Amino acid sequence: MRTVIRFAFLSLLVLVISLAAIPAMGAESDDGGGEEAPATTEVVDFEYIPANVIEAPPADVAEQPWTTKFLVPTGIALATIAVFVTVVQYFVRVVRSRYKVVE
| Mean pLDDT of the 98-102 span | 83
pLDDT of residue 39: 63
What Å distances lie between residue 7 and 19, 41, 69, 72, 95, CA to CA?
18, 61, 29, 23, 21
Predicted confidence (pLDDT) per residue in 45-90, tens digit: 677 776 787 788 777 777 767 777 788 889 999 999 999 999 999 9
pLDDT of residue 34: 52
Name the amino acid, one letter, at 65.
P
